[in-house]
């Protein structure tokens, strides 16, 4: 048994276990937000691209897309999929707090609470600064976050997923003082001789007050910050469970 960082062993089963995620609806909503601000980007960086599902959809809609993820294992899956589809999307593993890209992009996105994995305000601040530097003048940053209300409303408990040759036990734990959401994944994978191999993986998310997020964005130079309740055009607040934030690169 070994203990891994998030999205290592899980990567090879991610698309199967998360097959019900409505990626196309996410992209539809993203384009609704772009229409709302009357912005028409050509180049997009998907920060926290995972196995590339959103990136592939954006590419099919005509955007030039580059993907970055903190997990090398997830990036390798995305690259395999790109190769199979003869896709031209580039994927790279990099640290959200330190990443660099060759050319600035018109839009940076970060979805599926990827930034909740940054567990300190300093880490979040560093990521915002890197995003700012990665944008073209007056470019936009659009990202989502799980809110404090969302994390505090998660019910602790266990669930299980059974695949063709594996079992995955999913344990949810909440630490309100963060608040932190801790997910323990325990995989048992059937081997050729019928034995089971065990692999454990831990995921931790943290939620931040909206005021803190706005303050860090402004500190990095962003302006015209709008906050929406997830998948609506309603004003987002601490009573929302998921928020989408739009921030414009300042002068």
- Which token pair is 47? 């920060």
DSSP for the chain, please give it: --EE-TTSTTHHHHHHHTTT--HHHHHHHHHHHHHHTT---SEEEEET-TTSHHHHHHHHTT-EEEEEES-HHHHHHHHHHHHHTT---EEEE--TTT---SS-EEEEEE-TTGGGG--SHHHHHHHHHHHHHHEEEEEEEEEEEE-HHHHHHPPPEEEEEE-SSEEEEEEEEEETTTTEEEEEEEEEEE-TTS-EEEEEEEEEEE---HHHHHHHHHHHTEEEEEEEETTSSSBP-TT-SEEEEEEEE--
Residue percentage of the chain with pLDDT more than 70? 98
Q: Are 144 and 232 in contact (CB under 8 A)?
A: no
Across 124-133, average pLDDT: 98
Whole-number average pLDDT of the chain? 95
Distance CA 239, CA 186 (A): 32
CA dihedral 101, 230, 205, 102 (to 10 degrees): 0
Q: Before 240, cis peptide (omega within 30)?
A: no
Predicted pLDDT at 3 = 43
Predicted pLDDT at 30 = 98
φ/ψ of 35, rounded to 5, equals: -65, -40
Predicted pLDDT at 223 = 96
- Which token pair is 224? 């015209």
Residue 226 reports pLDDT greater than 60: yes
Q: What is the pLDDT of residues 67-111, one digit of tens each?
A: 999 999 999 999 999 988 767 899 999 999 999 999 999 999 999
Residue 5 reports pLDDT greater than 80: no
Across 127-143, average pLDDT: 98
Q: What is the pLDDT of residues 207-222, one digit of tens each?
A: 999 999 999 999 999 9
Model pTM score = 0.96
Predicted pLDDT at 86 = 67
Q: What is the pLDDT of residues 192-206, one digit of tens each?
A: 998 999 999 999 999
Query: What are the residues whose beta carbons fall under 8 Å from the beta carbon of 26, sequence distance 6 or more?
Result: 54, 111, 112
Across 149-174, average pLDDT: 96
Residue 143 reports pLDDT greater than 70: yes
């Amino acid at each position: 048994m070994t203990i891994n960082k998030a999205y290592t062993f899980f990567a090879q089963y991610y698309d199967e276990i998360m097959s019900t995620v409505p990626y196309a609806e996410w992209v539809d909503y993203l384009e609704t937000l772009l229409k709302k601000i009357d912005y028409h980007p050509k180049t997009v960086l998907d920060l926290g691209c995972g196995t590339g599902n959103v990136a592939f959809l954006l590419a099919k809609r005509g955007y030039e897309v580059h993907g970055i993820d903190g997990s090398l294992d997830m990036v390798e899956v995305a690259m395999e999929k790109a190769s199979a589809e003869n896709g031209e999307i580039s994927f790279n593993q990099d640290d959200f707090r330190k990443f660099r890209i060759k050319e600035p992009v018109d839009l940076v996105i970060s979805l599926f609470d990827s930034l909740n994995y940054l567990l300190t305000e300093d880490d979040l601040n560093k990521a915002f600064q890197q995003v700012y530097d990665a944008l073209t003048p007056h470019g936009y940053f659009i990202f989502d976050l799980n809110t404090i209300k969302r994390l505090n409303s998660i019910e602790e408990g266990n669930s299980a997923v059974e695949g063709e040759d594996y079992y995955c036990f999913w344990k949810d734990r909440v630490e309100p003082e963060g608040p932190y959401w801790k997910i323990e994944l325990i995989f048992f994978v059937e081997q050729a001789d019928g034995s089971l191999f065990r692999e454990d993986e831990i995921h931790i998310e943290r939620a931040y007050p909206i005021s803190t997020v706005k303050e860090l964005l402004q500190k990095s130079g962003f302006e015209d910050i709008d906050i929406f309740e997830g998948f609506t055009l309603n004003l987002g607040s601490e009573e929302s469970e998921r928020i989408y934030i739009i921030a414009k690169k300042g002068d």
